[in-house]
Structure 1
Amino acid sequence: MIIATRTRSDNKIHSLVLAELEWTPEIDASEVEVEVEAGVVTLSGEVGDYFEYLAASRAMRRVHGIAGVQNRLTVLPRSARWVTDTDIGRVAERVLTWSANIPGTVRSRVEGGCVTLTGQVDWHFQREAAERAVENIRGVHTVRNEVTLIPRPVSEEAAERIRSALFRDPQVDAGRISVSVVGNTAVLTGYVKSLMEKTQAGEAAWSSPDVTTIDNRLDVRPY
């Protein structure tokens, strides 16, 4: 469904988004509506599962020119097989227990097809691993990741260490990014050329042993 856009740039982005959705085999693009305003893409409509919902978000990171994304897709399972919260919870407990990169401190609860993860871990990658472990379970509509990182002492060189990591990353133009660390929070400011670069900068900062929160304020300036 094509919705009128306000500028030539938005019209171009709209066409690119439609093409990328059609190109992505995990998505039924016919069910997705796209609106673009000032470079911000809004996705709406219905998808068959949470995996498809996430695939749509990932697809947007691959499109040049997008300044932001609002994913308002609704998960409406198309499978005739009924899956209860109890079924989902049983599978979630199993995959969390058997995943080698997820600590035993992570717990899950399920309500209305929404899986909520709780607990504390040492590293962000462990929190991400827990989310990935449950997001593809049949019947899941959404995942709420409330797992937190265990607070730790902050090095005086915390900001400089993150800057160094950004400069090492070939996918990030670190010269346009400023880093400050307040308490256990790393704040990224400046600008990048794509959503993919913004995400990558955040991932690099998450590897710091000094922070438990990332405040990614990077602006996306595609042109």
Structure 2
Amino acid sequence: MTQIQHRPDHHLKTAVTDELAWTPSVNAEEIGVTVTNGVATLSGHVGTYPEKEEALRAASRVHGVTSTVDKILVRHGHEVAADADLAREAMIVFDRRTVLVPKDAVQVDVRDQVVTLRGSVDWHYQREAARRAVAALPGISGVRNLITLRPSPGVSAAETKAQLTAALARHAPGFAQHVEVGIDDGQVTLTGEVLTPAERRSAEQTAWFAPGVTAVDNQVTLSG
């Protein structure tokens, strides 16, 4: 496999800063950037929680960034929403059934404008849908997603591994052969080497689609 060319940290810092400025949904002037050994740390403050998520995604898009550290604060201005009001708004979102989450599957708790989600669902996409639904609420400063996944009865580890391996080959034949899949009691472990963080994330996202998966341990490293 061709090795990835590592970029100096000061070049990565410039690239991350430029990417934040390029992202229209982010006020880059209020965000600080440091990079150490390929790890980008974002600090400063933003006006909403979705803007914070967009800033972290922007940094992770930069070629050469291996991971991001979140030190961004969310400042909502002069009016601070009461926790009880935020919890009520969150539950209204789920009661309207506009989110792909089974009714009564999720419990909501809010403290200091940080939403904690609990409960259990069958699929990772449902857990992510719940997180996205409350993250978009005005006044939210953070989301702790503690929703767990229920094991799928009747799905063998061998069957899950075969389906996941086939899916990786369909989605990314260029690097799928370099990713090994292990499964133990619903937990998928991915190992091997790929060229870019995007390929690493793609392998993990594919794993979450496999039936019976309750956790993914992504140990795939970057070649270099």
Aligned residue number for residue 3 of structure 1: none
Instruction: Say if 1:162 and 1:205, in contact at 8 Å, map to a contact too.
Output: yes
Structure 1: runs of 5 or more not aligned: 1-6
Amino acid at match of 1:121: V
| 1:109 aligned counterpart, secondary structure | strand
**Number of residue equivalences:** 215
Amino acid at match of 1:146: L
Aligned residue number for residue 86 of structure 2: 88
Aligned residue number for residue 157 of structure 1: 159
Alpha-carbon separation, structure 2, partners of 1:211 and 1:179: 12
Alignment of 1:35-184 (within 5 A): 35-78=34-77, 80-98=78-96, 99-104=98-103, 105-153=105-153, 154-155=155-156, 156-170=158-172, 173-184=175-186
Alpha-carbon separation, structure 2, partners of 1:24 and 1:172: 29
Instruction: Say if 1:189 and 1:217, in contact at 8 Å, map to a contact too.
Output: yes
Instruction: Say if 1:68 and 1:220, in contact at 8 Å, map to a contact too.
Output: no
Aligned residue number for residue 29 of structure 2: 30
Structure 2: runs of 5 or more not aligned: 1-5
Instruction: Say if 2:183 and 2:189, in contact at 8 Å, map to a contact too.
Output: yes
| 1:118 aligned counterpart, secondary structure | strand
> What is the RMSD of the two structures over their aligned residues, measured on CA atoms?
1.8
Q: Once the 2 structures are TM-superposed, how far is the Cα of residue 85 of structure 1 from its aligned partner?
A: 0.9
Instruction: Say if 1:185 and 1:211, in contact at 8 Å, map to a contact too.
Output: yes
| 2:138 aligned counterpart, secondary structure | coil
- The alignment's TM-score, normalised by the length of structure 1, stands at 0.90
Identity over aligned pairs, percent = 39
Instruction: Say if 2:113 and 2:139, in contact at 8 Å, map to a contact too.
Output: yes
Alpha-carbon separation, structure 1, partners of 2:191 and 2:129: 27
Distance 1:28 1:100, change over 3 A: closer
Q: Once the 2 structures are TM-superposed, how far is the Cα of residue 109 of structure 1 from its aligned partner?
A: 1.1
Distance 1:77 1:36, change over 3 A: same
